[in-house]
Amino acid sequence: MADEHVQVLVVGAGLAGLSAALFLAQQGIEVLAVSKHRGTSPHPKATGQTHRTMELLRRAGVADEVLAGGAGLDGGLVIKIAESLRGRVFHTIVQEDHEWDASLSPERPGMASQDHVEPVLLRRARELGAQVVFETELVSLAQDDDGVTARLRSAGGERTVRAEYVIGADGHRGVVRSFAGIGRRGHGPLSHHVGVVFDADLSARIASDKLTLFYLRNPAFTGAFVATNTERRNVLTIEYDPARESVADYPLRRCAELVRIATDAPDLEPEIVEVTAWEMGAWLSDRFRAGRVFLAGDAAKVTPPTGGLGGNTAIGDGFDLAWKLAEVLKGEAGEGLLDSYEAERRPYAQLVVDGSYANYVQRFAPHLAGPDVPDEVDHLHLTLGYRCRSSAVLIEDTDPAPMENPADPTGRPGFRAPHVVVDHDGTQKSTLDLFTTWTLLTLNPAWRVPTPGLDIPTITDPTDTLAKRYGIGPTGATLVRPDGVIAWRTTTSPTPTSTIPLPALKSL
């Protein structure tokens, strides 16, 4: 007999776990998230939110707060491979002022770091009714046909929790994956790093309003420097060989000296905030689901940070699982909808890992260059132009391309529904704000036939772009899922025998 019952137990309260908890709670699902850590991450780690992540945070009602957290770095992006901040530059990867194409999304990319984002997600998740408990470790997990039993350990002792579903959002070294019997493969560990978080005034060396990332190839060390959205706070990572050294070989004095070398500031007295060891790796789990247990975030895949997508994918996984589990738990969709999680998110994770690995070789490890290095992946095409393929979309063309250019959308099923400003009930808004449930978007009144489980908003197209960007013309209609992905479309007016394939898409 379990001590407690919940609908969903989330193991982990990082970006994946907190997002899953938040979006489940937003749907009225009873959710408990546990983390063995004392609180949210004190480390800046993942900096930067893609348009898509910001669109998800907009749904959660926290986009402005996250954006404000990164406002200090609003001026643009600088990524270079160099000897040091003022030393020889080997390659400029990006140097741009922060301009964004407002026709792509109602949200601009964010620049906040993980230590800012996690507390925002935590507060909002709790506000929406999620239980989030720290200093509580999962020690065992067993599932049967009806549910999952988890044993949790905290200072107060051990207790068991019975859940209908479990989300393993327990990170790179998480245990849920092995309890679920899921293996993983990939390039494995790539390199070991000491991460030095330090405070120093570097305003004379870097543009303080830009996200500055330098991959450093210095005679003294290989590593990276990154500024954060917290004033004066920066991170220096230093690659080390675990066969010869450990983090204990990096006392404060040595770290401070390496900071001086990296920043070309011989007199700098940095205040070292934290020194930790971390491993860069590239892994993809063989499966993202085993029965009632799902993997999300770094538990499902580990990507080198060279691409800035680890944290973004964690939030995306949490969101994706949450809406699908909520539909099933509320009886609005069949169990089959849950299969679409792995079908859609695992190929996406593969692209993230491949593209980030290609960047890793270019930026950190040119000696690994060779024919087995995957192609680089276009960031914008991946994050806004990825095509979902599963039983929850009806793809009718034969184009195998995994992505398209979101600036030139085709509106085909599987792709993210494009952002278009429409007039809805006398208010101008983004189409993205209409997709809170399954939604039929049309300019043709003949399609506006009330259908259970389907929202058909009355809209007009003041900019005359909807019909083209969605490829439905004036007569057709497009069915958009609650996550803003196009599930089905037609270009014609309804006939007496027309049906909207909603039950099939929901696996009912």
Ligand X SMILES: Cc1cc2nc3c(=O)[nH]c(=O)nc-3n(C[C@H](O)[C@H](O)[C@H](O)COP(=O)(O)OP(=O)(O)OC[C@H]3O[C@@H](n4cnc5c(N)ncnc54)[C@H](O)[C@@H]3O)c2cc1C
Query: DSSP characters for 443-480?
Result: S-GGG----TT-B---EE-TTS-HHHHTT-TTT-EEEE
The least CB distance from residue 234 to ligand X, in Å, is: 12
Cα first-last separation, the chain: 32
Q: Is 360 annotated in the active site?
A: no
The least CB distance from residue 40 to ligand X, in Å, is: 8
The least CB distance from residue 420 to ligand X, in Å, is: 28
Nearer to ligand X, 153 or 260 (CB): 153
Cβ atoms of 89 and 81 closer than 8 Å: yes
Side by side, the strands of the sheet bearing 459-460 are: 427-430, 421-424, 459-460
Nearer to ligand X, 15 or 502 (CB): 15
14 binds ligand X (CB under 6 A): yes
Nearer to ligand X, 70 or 174 (CB): 174
Strand partners, 289: 294
Nearer to ligand X, 36 or 489 (CB): 36
Contact with ligand X (CB under 6 A) among 26, 35, 442, 490: 35
Contact with ligand X (CB under 6 A) among 6, 8, 22, 34: 34
CA distances from 128 to 14, 24, 149 (A): 17, 9, 25
The Cβ of residue 246 has, within 10 Å, a number of other Cβ atoms equal to 11
Cβ atoms of 11 and 169 closer than 8 Å: yes
Binding flags for ligand X, 409-448, as an x/- string (CB under 6 A): ----------------------------------------
The Cβ of residue 3 has, within 10 Å, a number of other Cβ atoms equal to 11
DSSP 418: P
The least CB distance from residue 393 to ligand X, in Å, is: 25
CA distances from 459 to 431, 454, 456, 462 (A): 9, 15, 9, 9
DSSP 264: T
Contact with ligand X (CB under 6 A) among 114, 234, 340, 359: 114
- The number of C-alpha atoms within 13 Å of 384 and in the hemisphere containing its C-beta is 25
Nearer to ligand X, 141 or 456 (CB): 141
Binding flags for ligand X, 282-301, as an x/- string (CB under 6 A): ---------------xxx--
110 binds ligand X (CB under 6 A): no
Cβ atoms of 274 and 115 closer than 8 Å: no
Q: Give me 159's structure tokens.
A: 């207790």
The least CB distance from residue 306 to ligand X, in Å, is: 9
Query: Which one of 215, 341, 357, 470 is the catalytic residue?
Result: 215
Give the C-alpha separation, 162 to 265, whole Å.
56
Contact with ligand X (CB under 6 A) among 171, 186, 316, 494: 171
36 binds ligand X (CB under 6 A): yes
Exposure b/e, 229-244, CB count within 10 A at least 16 = b:
bbeebbbbbbbbeeee
Exposure b/e, 266-298, CB count within 10 A at least 16 = b:
eebebebbebeebebbbbbbebbbbebbbbbbb
- Alpha helices of 171-222 — where are they, by DSSP H? 176-179
66 binds ligand X (CB under 6 A): no
Q: Residue of minimal CB distance from ligand X? A: 297
Binding residues for ligand X restricted to 310-339, rule: CB under 6 A: 310-312, 314
278 binds ligand X (CB under 6 A): yes
Stretch that binds ligand X, among 59-67, 167-175, 281-289, 479-487 (CB under 6 A): 167-175
Nearer to ligand X, 95 or 460 (CB): 95
Cβ atoms of 353 and 186 closer than 8 Å: yes
168 binds ligand X (CB under 6 A): no
15 binds ligand X (CB under 6 A): yes
The least CB distance from residue 171 to ligand X, in Å, is: 3
Nearer to ligand X, 173 or 330 (CB): 173
Cβ atoms of 419 and 106 closer than 8 Å: yes
The least CB distance from residue 267 to ligand X, in Å, is: 27
Nearer to ligand X, 147 or 297 (CB): 297
Stretch that binds ligand X, among 8-16, 55-63, 66-74, 259-267 (CB under 6 A): 8-16
Binding residues for ligand X restricted to 191-220, rule: CB under 6 A: 195
Nearer to ligand X, 313 or 439 (CB): 313
Q: How far does CA 200 lie from the centroid of its chain? A: 30
The least CB distance from residue 180 to ligand X, in Å, is: 13
Residues forming the active site:
215
- Interface residues toward ligand X, by CB under 6 A: 11-17, 34-37, 45-48, 114, 137-138, 169-172, 174-175, 195, 278, 297-299, 305, 308-312, 314
